[in-house]
Amino acid sequence: MRRNIDVHQFESFLKKDHMILTPGKRLAREIVEAWTTHRQTTQPVAFRILVEPVDAWLERAWINAVEDGRLPLQRLLSTEQQAALWDDIIRKDVSRNNSFSLTQPRATAIRAKAAWDKLSMYGGSEISDLWRHFQFEEDCVVFARWARKFQDQMQKINGATRYQAYEQLLSLPAESTPIALYEFPELPPITRTALEHLSELAVITPKITSHDDRVPIVRRFATREDELAAAAVWAHSMSALPDKRSAIVLLDLERDRAQLEYFLRAQFDCLDAQYNDLPVNFSTGMPLGMTPMFRDAMIALQWELRPLSRSDWLALMRSPFFPGLLSNPSPNALEVVERLFRSGITEISMDQTLHLLTRYASDTPLKAILIALLSDKSHRGKKTLSAWGQWIRSRLQIWRWPCRASLDSIEYQQLDRFDVSLDALGALSAVLPIQTHEAALTLWRQSLSNIAFQPKTPHDSIRVMGPLEAIGLEFEGMWICGAQQGVFPRAPRLDAFLPASIQKRFDFQELNGPRLLAHSQKLLEIWCAGSTETVVSYHELDRGLPRQPSGLIAGFEGTIETGWFPPSRWLALRQVEEMAVDERVPMAAQQSTGGSGLIRDQASCGFKAFIKHRIKVTLLGSEAFGFTAIERGLLLHEMMFYLWHGLSSQAALLDIAETVLLERIERAAMTALNKLEADAERSGFSLRARVGESCWQLEQAFCIDVVTAWMNQERDRKIPFTVVSLEEESALNISGLKLTLRPDRIDRLEDGRRIVIDYKSTAPAKSRWLGPRPQEPQLPLYTLLDQKLKGIAFAPLTRDTQFIPLGNDLGLTQTPEKSLSQQTKGWAEDWDKLVAKWASALEELARAFLAGVASIDPSPSACQHCDLQPVCRIEQIRRTQRSSAENEAFE
Ligand code: SF4
């Protein structure tokens, strides 16, 4: 098998024990490995290997000089410490100046640090009238203010950046240590100068191949997804060849990595159970904070800062690393979840959760954990970041994190990095003094995202890397993705934080088109030299926008390739399993199963009734803003109940004065709102807090208006009436199905007839009472309870007060009522026949429910407000039906 490195390039230096310096860590590691293997086979005696990245060697030289007293004592700040300092300066500056707000202060801090580093590596920070150049553009003015604060802070903490340290090395006497430098890409000017000052430099140049010797294969794709999917297929086929190593180089690593990883997982079948078995080595690894174990730990810690969103709360409750409610769910735990979600709250606090746990699931470990967390106030005040590190450790111990009994090997590797992350947090104490709880958690999250987690994978796995990491390595095959115009080479660009005059004066590489082109050209030649077969690809469309190929490959021909979906492995494995259709699943025994909603659901869709009333699936309530439709309906129902409970007849209503009635209505509104709030309190949340005071007042005023209008309407009814029943419960046995019914109100007219009234927030049309599948069967069901019932009516509780009645001469409307035959559009000529038809239709529906008829056959508007579409897949059924119909029409 070939080694990753051609050691002969380095052999003469290594044999003489000369130090070899590389641009990055990866190449240094590969040289050490290759040379160790080579020497063990040829000369199994102990030997020294001196290979290091350039920056590590120079930093060590600086530290040695400081320790020897040749340079003044200073603290060399790490990249993370510098970024944290910039971040702190920028946040404080923005809040103090109040001039603009940054959506991503961290990203701005990283850009500011990069700009300052660039200035330093070109020696720009040393020019005498530096800040004079920054006064002409707004971004530069702001950056100059931040940079001066950065300099002040650095002085205060006696700190030095990497490039300041290199500058200081030039003050030491020159040395002539023999050193071999692998020189690509070009080093920053200050790095090169410092290196030359301290050593006798020999240069190792990378092997290059001109296109005449080894021509890359160019592949052209329709879209970015097509391109990445094809690279994954290629990697999979290469991995099947014995002893072959291949690499995918992503020219835009940051953007394409996640999508490529998905395609690779799909190709290697590592999306689910074998998630950790992907034989691919990603050079950048995964930020530790994105791993499920640390992501959930962060959610748990943040819960003490503020309530969690519903999705975060659910993620924590389901996390295998925490003893949440749903890691091993009991019916009581599910009750807590259901109640929290039914409350409509958008964010869930620790107090709310504890309140419900105490009431419904007091034996869960989560309750004891929440009590321990809430009673401990150690998160208050400010502490050093090292102290916050200890606090994080103790908090996670209270949470028993990571409580999973058997962590797999990848999870163990991740857990091993926990101490590293706390050390990284503690190291920030050098630049940031005492911090608050919130700031400490933000900094820990940043530390977690700075730590790349790279699971240990087989040595010769497929590699995915950025453009510079592939330099000097050798592969059987290399695929370079994303060779687009503007990316390879990069388009020249100015740094917005630095004045153009300075960037031009120092000839920054990012501004120099010919140098960028030469750099990319050389990169391509180096890649071709290191690989037996090199594929370079590009795409023509990205999110609907046309993209051009890089000028470096535009001359090569390539055929267009499209269509990664569906993946070929799906087609290969496609199998259809025949299943017998379950026509129906009868109920084992007759039992009381619900109220009128059961028959309504059976009428609108058998499947819906089966799922809701037989399987009894509970749907989690959605987030609510203001009052929900159900809460508004309950309020008005409650007010009407309270008022008619006191009045009991039209005569009594006509007898009381307007002002007294208004007082009663206002009292009814207050009582109804208080009851709703008390019910919410019992469920563990404050309705008043959720809807807000203004919304509360508005709803109260609206309810008073609506009910006042309705009382005037009741006064005007032509036939005097007495209210004989208010929300009284009755049992009905219909074809063996026992239902519990609760009519809103039953009135007795002065001639002894009775009518049943149902309050609605919006009134349906009369037609929904009729037909073999009445869509609103609630009132027809009530007529089966009492033979004296001779009419039904909806009372829509809106400002537009109009009864929707069905019956003969009920006196509910101002206009003369039509005959029953006209009202039912000929479906029934008189009341008795209408009731008989209802009885027959409702009995049929009851029998269908008992027999388990669960066909997906919804009535016209049934699916509109139904949450079961993911279960019944009605859309897929409709699509299939539509395409069959179109095919038939075509034939
Ligand atoms: S979405 Fe339509 S078809 Fe599906 S269960 Fe609901 S009502 Fe029935």
Q: What's the pLDDT tens digit per position in 609-635? A: 999 998 888 778 888 888 998 899 999
Is 713 exposed, middle or buried, given 0-12, 13-18 or 19+ CB atoms closer than 10 A?
Answer: middle
Question: Residue 611 CA: which ligand 1 atom is closest?
Answer: 5
Is the pLDDT confidence value at 877 over 70? yes
- pLDDT of 363: 87
853 forms beta bridges with: 584
Instruction: Give the mean model confidence (pLDDT) for residues 144-156.
Output: 95
Q: What is the mean pLDDT of residues 512-531?
A: 90
User: Looking at beta carbons, which pairs linking 566-570 to residues 24 or more positions away fall under 8 Å?
Assistant: 567/229, 567/266, 567/267, 568/233, 569/266, 569/267, 569/269
How far is ligand 1, taken at its centre, from the CA of residue 607, in Å? 7
Q: What is the pLDDT of residue 723?
A: 96
Q: Is 854 in the pocket of ligand 1 (CB under 6 A)?
A: no
> How are the residues of the chain apportioned to helix, strand and coil, as percentages rounded to the nearest 5?
50, 15, 35
Per-residue pLDDT at 79 exceeds 70: yes
Could you give the CA distance from residue 888 to residue 259 in angstroms, rounded to a whole number?
Answer: 40
Asked if residue 869 has its Cβ within 6 Å of ligand 1, the reply is: yes
Q: Which of 187-196, 525-534, 642-651 has the lowest mean pLDDT?
A: 525-534
pLDDT at 518: 92
Residues of the chain with CATH 1.10.486: 287-453
Q: What is the third-level CATH fold of 287-453? A: PCRA; domain 4 (1.10.486)
> In angstroms, what is the span from residue 213 Cα to ligand 1's centroid?
65
Q: For residues 382-403, give the mean pLDDT.
A: 95
Query: Higher confidence at residue 10 or residue 53?
Result: 53
697 in contact with ligand 1, CB cutoff 6 A = no
Residue 458 has pLDDT above 60, yes or no: no
pLDDT at 209: 66
Q: How far is the CA of 615 from the centre of ligand 1 (A)?
A: 15
Q: How far is the CA of 599 from the centre of ligand 1 (A)?
A: 15
Q: Which of 234-248, 419-433, 591-605, 798-812 has the highest mean pLDDT?
A: 419-433
Q: What confidence tens digit (pLDDT) does each residue in 238-266 have?
A: 888 877 789 999 999 989 998 999 999 88
- Does the CB atom of residue 863 touch ligand 1 within 6 A? yes
Q: Where in the chain is the domain with CATH 3.40.50.300?
A: 217-285+461-567
Give the list of residues 6+ apart from residue 289 with CB closer than 8 angstroms, or none: 295, 298, 445, 448, 449, 451
pLDDT of 664: 96
Question: Who wins on pLDDT, 368 or 10?
Answer: 368
C-alpha of residue 872 to centroid of ligand 1, in Å: 6
Residue 126's pLDDT band, with cuts at 50, 70 and 90, is confident
Comparing CA positions, the residue from 584, 606, 463, 474 lying closest to residue 527 is: 474
| Centre of ligand 1 from the C-alpha of residue 625, in Å | 26
| pLDDT at position 564 | 60
Query: Pocket of ligand 1, candidates 615, 863, 881: which has the most ligand atoms within 8 Å of its Cβ, to mutate?
Result: 863
Q: 607 in ligand 1 pocket by Cβ < 6 Å?
A: yes
Average pLDDT of the segment spanning 531-540: 90
Q: How far is the CA of 609 from the centre of ligand 1 (A)?
A: 9
pLDDT for residue 388: 97
What CA–CA distance (Å, rounded) separates 338 from 336? 5
Mean pLDDT over each residue of the chain, to the nearest integer? 88
Residue 271's pLDDT band (cuts 50, 70, 90): confident
CATH class of 217-285+461-567: alpha beta
pLDDT-wise least confident of 3-17, 187-201, 302-316, 662-676: 3-17
752/887: higher pLDDT: 752
pLDDT value at residue 108: 92
What are the two backbone dihedrals, phi and then psi, of residue 662, each rounded to the nearest 5 degrees? Answer: -60, -40
Q: What is the position in ligand 1's atom list of the atom closest to the CA of 862? A: 7
* CA 873 / ligand 1 centre spacing (Å): 8
**What confidence tier does 638 reach under pLDDT thresholds 50, 70, 90?**
very high
Task: Measure the CA–CA gap between 528 and 304, rounded to whole angstroms.
Answer: 54
Q: How far is the CA of 797 from the centre of ligand 1 (A)?
A: 28
Higher pLDDT, 586 or 788: 788
pLDDT range class, residue 764, cuts 50, 70, 90: confident
| Distance between CA atoms of residues 764 and 796, nearest Å | 9
Q: Find out whether the beta carbon of 868 lies less than 6 Å from any atom of ligand 1.
A: yes
The minimum-distance atom of ligand 1 relative to the CA of 856 is 3
* Contact between residue 139 and residue 496 where contact means Cβ atoms under 8 Å apart: yes
Ligand 1 probe mutation, 600, 604, 605, most atoms within 8 A of CB: 605
